[in-house]
Chains A and B, each alone.
Chain A
Amino acid sequence: MLNVQIDGVWLQFPKGTRLIEACSQAQKFIPRYCYHPKLTAPGNCRMCLIELGMPKMGPDRKPVVGPDGKPEIGWIPRPQISCAQDVAEGMAVRTDSPMVQECRQGVMEFLLINHPLDCPICDQAGECRLQEFSVEYGNSSSRFLERKVKKPKNIELGPRVTLDAERCVLCSRCIRFMKEVANDDVLGFVDRGSFSTIACHPERVLDSNYSLNTVDICPVGALTSSDFRFKMRVWFLKETKTIDVNDGLGSNITVGSRENVIYRITPRENNDVNGVWLPDSHRLNFKYVGASNRFKLPQIKAQPVDWRTAIAVAAEILKAHSSESIAMIASARMTNEELFVARLLAHQLNIAPERLDVLPRTGEPDGILIPADRNSNTTGAKLLGVSASEPGSHLPGIAQGVRSGAIKVLICFEDATKCGMTAEELSKIALIVIDILPNATSALASVLLPSSAWVEKRGSLININGRLQRINRAVQPPDQARDDWEILRDLLTALGGTNSLNSIEEVFKLMAGEHAEFAGLSLSKIGDLGVPLSLTPATATLQEAAN
């Protein structure tokens, strides 16, 4: 540990700590534009200037000790940047001296010289570092009388990112992100002096699947999301901390919604899962939640009915058939709680394990964040006994049963036509479909029960690395659509099973009683960042390196 003096207080930091981070840990925030903890520090914005000192050395090369027994500090007469500097033994910092204040004021004045006064239309307004630091450290008026430099505006750098070069403070965060994290060196500076601006390399576009992260890390409104551009001011958005469900990693995200409409999804820092990044494909995949063709009412043979009737008819169908002729295709995108109640229902109906499975989804891992498993809760489905030990391995058997007529009732959480069955085969059996959007299977459903999308419900998921994480409700489900676990509970009750499950907390409690992995946990104890579970090798999926 190294001794560092910050604003007159001696503190200890491990070797290799950046000075700017050390100051932050000491509750002395230093403003910065170019510095980002996950990227290299080029030190080009000059906003983090501080006054630096080292212990005075005597002629014997020993520190000179002052009357208070502490080493005397020799202050460097000119300011230093704190972002590209590691702490050293005996180092001293002044983060708020008159010289530092004057430096910040000067840097702010230079940055604002050519900055347009378009905060009223800028999407960054409200979360803009330039706005915040201008209030905190800047001047109240401009002394600049000359002509402002004109730069290109409204430039499409790629399919998802729009650049306004006049707003850019040339911090180079986006350039470094594309080079160091996205492994796609596509951005750079062109032109010189006041005319310097960001541009793509010749004949290249910013079309990486991680391009929207540059919008997140842009400290000003220079890079904006073409999708979110001019849609909603950020201060209106209700921020719900939840988990991405597009792949097995379960990236931590924040859903921004207003009046039951989702406007954007941004990554949330969790260094054990996704760092601070999120792929574009995942963050833009929310439009279907507000689609007008979402199921709003339960249906019996495409006729809308009320919930009581729908559940009663579904229960009649299930009661009228022997347990050997019933199968269930659950989903590895369901939450643990839903999978657990689905398992209770399967027990109640005596569905044998070989007639119970989930639909696996795989893809090519991208080597950055996206793993091969594209289902959000494969580990949970395995752990709770809903999935086969190799997910999807029971599906051919179920398809065979449907074809031969051995299976007469299918409870479906997925599109069964993607599980090896044709629409013609499915039209001959009774289908109980629990889904949110129309597909080939729901069109044939005997009973259709509308459920909730992932942003409309609470629950827990286990990612590929065995981390238990919590999803939260950002918006309400449309009309009469209900939580999946409630639908399953009602079916269970109608079939003579338990009706003592009244809240999702009770489901979790019952689940924790039966599965030791959840012992001592509850939905609230999972917290925003999740907890690692100790899983047996049989249930643990492949451990993949994230970050």
Chain B
Amino acid sequence: MAYIVPRPKLTFAEKMYLPSIVAGMAITFKHLKRMLKGETKVVMQYPEEKWDSNMPEHYRGAPTLVKDDHGRERCVACQLCEFICPPRAITISPGEIPAENKFAKVEKYPVEFKIDMIRCIYCGMCEEVCPEQAIFLRKDYAITGTSRAEMVNDKEKLYEMGGVFDGLIHKWNPKK
């Protein structure tokens, strides 16, 4: 059912718009004055200025793979993160470490480890489920790319982002 909207009756001053313009300009000049006096808090000048230094400790950014202080890649391709990942962003192809490798005792490693950052929801379940302390969510937040393929982080990229992590448990060291 159509109904008629009553139009407000405007006074002459209102029809001229002048009072509104004056009021608006007054606010603008008030802010100009405060800014010149240095009282206004300005927003961060992103991207010239980055968030990194202001990031809280618990921030969950891009998931990465880490190596330990022995230079060993922590991941043993148990595929638990692949299993737990809610958006199925992780794909792992497991393989056997060759006998001549100095970490051959660990036996298994990921031949390929891919995280599709278009799918990733930064939930941190992969870090939580990892029994090897191998995957950590770092503070990388500006994840961009110009194609879908570019948004898939492969093993090399993940280790480059993750780097070396100190102070992890060395459960694969020879038995004491």
Contacts and interface: CB of A to CB of B under 8 A. Distances in A.
B121 interface: no
A153 B96 CA distance: 14
Contacts, number: 41
A8 interface: no
B176 interface: yes
Interface string B83-103: 100000000001110010000
Contacts of A195: none
A236 B108 CA distance: 18
B175 A148 contact: yes
B83 A121 contact: no
Given A121-B76, A121-B108, A229 B175 contact: no
Contact of A230 (B83, B96, B105): B96
A520 interface: no
Contact of B132 (A120, A125, A235, A236): A120
Contacts of A231: 94
Contacts of A125: 78
A229 B96 contact: yes
A150 B78 contact: no
Contacts of B118: none
Contacts of A230: 77, 94-96, 107-108
Contacts of A118: 107
B145 interface: no
Interface SS majority for chain A:
loop
Contact of A147 (B83, B108, B132, B175): B175
Interface in A312-354: none
A19 B95 CA distance: 44
A282 to B, nearest CB: 25
Contacts of B83: 233, 235-236
A525 B153 CA distance: 49
A231 B175 CA distance: 27
A119 B78 CA distance: 8
A235 B108 CA distance: 18
Interface residues of B, number: 20
A117 B171 CA distance: 8
A119 B131 contact: yes
Contact of B76 (A120, A148, A235): A120
A118 B132 CA distance: 10
A12 interface: no
A515 to B, nearest CB: 47
A154 interface: yes
A350 B79 CA distance: 58
Count chain B CB atoms within 10 A of each CB in A117, A121, A148, A232 and give the residue with the most.
Answer: A121
Given A230-B94, A230-B108, A235-B83, A147 B176 contact: yes
Q: Interface size class for chain A? A: 10 to 19
B80 interface: yes
A121 B107 contact: yes
A139 B106 CA distance: 26
Contacts of B82: 236
A160 to B, nearest CB: 16
A230 B107 CA distance: 9
A120 B175 contact: no
Contacts of B132: 120
Interface in A144-169: 147-148, 150, 153-154
Nearest to B130: A120
Contacts of A150: 175
A120 B77 CA distance: 8
B78 A233 contact: yes
B79 A236 contact: yes
B83 to A, nearest CB: 6
Count chain B CB atoms within 10 A of each CB in A147, A153, A230, A236 and give the residue with the most.
Answer: A230
Nearest to A114: B175
A151 to B, nearest CB: 10
Nearest to A231: B94
Count chain A CB atoms within 10 A of each CB in B95, B131, B171, B175 and give the residue with the most.
Answer: B175
Nearest to A166: B175
B37 to A, nearest CB: 61
B175 A233 contact: no
A67 B157 CA distance: 78
Given A147-B175, A147-B176, A154-B107, A120 B78 contact: yes
A120 B80 contact: yes
Contacts of A236: 79, 82-83
Interface in A48-70: none
Interface in A238-262: none
Interface in B97-138: 99, 105-108, 131-132
Closest 4 interchain pairs by CB?
A: A120-B78, A121-B108, A148-B175, A233-B79
Interface of A: 117-121, 125, 147-148, 150, 153-154, 229-233, 235-236
Interface of B: 76-80, 82-83, 94-96, 99, 105-108, 131-132, 171, 175-176
11 contacts: A117-B171, A120-B80, A121-B77, A125-B78, A154-B107, A230-B77, A230-B94, A230-B108, A233-B78, A233-B79, A236-B82
Given A121-B108, A233-B83, 15 more contacts: A118-B107, A119-B78, A119-B131, A120-B80, A121-B76, A121-B78, A121-B106, A125-B78, A153-B105, A230-B77, A230-B95, A230-B108, A233-B78, A235-B83, A236-B83
